Amino acid sequence: MLRHCDGALIIGDNALKISPDEYEVLDLARAWIDWQGLPFVFALWACPADSGMRGDLVSLIGEAKAWGLGRRDEIARIYARRLGLAREFLAGYLAHNINYEFGPRHIEGLSRYYELSANSRKGESQPPSASSSPDFAPCDSNRRSPAVGRISWRDADLRGSGRPGS
pLDDT at 159: 32
122 within some domain:
yes
24 within some domain:
yes
30 within some domain:
yes
Q: Tell me the pLDDT tens digit for each residue of 60-118.
A: 888 999 999 999 999 999 999 999 999 999 999 999 988 888 899 999 999 999 999 88
Question: Are 13 and 79 a contacting pair, CB within 8 Å?
Answer: yes
HEC states along 96-127?
A: HCCCCCCCHHHHHHHHHHHHHHHHHHHCCCCC
pTM greater than 0.75 (yes/no): no
Average pLDDT estimate for 16-36: 89
- Angstrom distance (rounded) from CA 134 to CA 130: 9
5 within some domain:
no
Q: Which domain holds residue 118?
A: 13-132
Q: Tell me the pLDDT tens digit for each residue of 103-157.
A: 999 999 999 999 998 888 776 554 444 444 444 444 443 333 333 333 333 333 3
8 within some domain:
no
pLDDT at 123: 66
How many domains in the chain? 1
Q: What is the domain-level CATH number for residue 51?
A: 3.40.190
Q: Indicate the burial class of 64 (C-beta count within 10 angstroms; 0-12, 13-18, 19 or more).
A: middle
DSSP letters, 5-18, are SS-----THHHHT-
45 within some domain:
yes
Question: Are 151 and 40 a contacting pair, CB within 8 Å?
Answer: no
49 within some domain:
yes
6 within some domain:
no
- Angstrom distance (rounded) from CA 141 to CA 55: 8
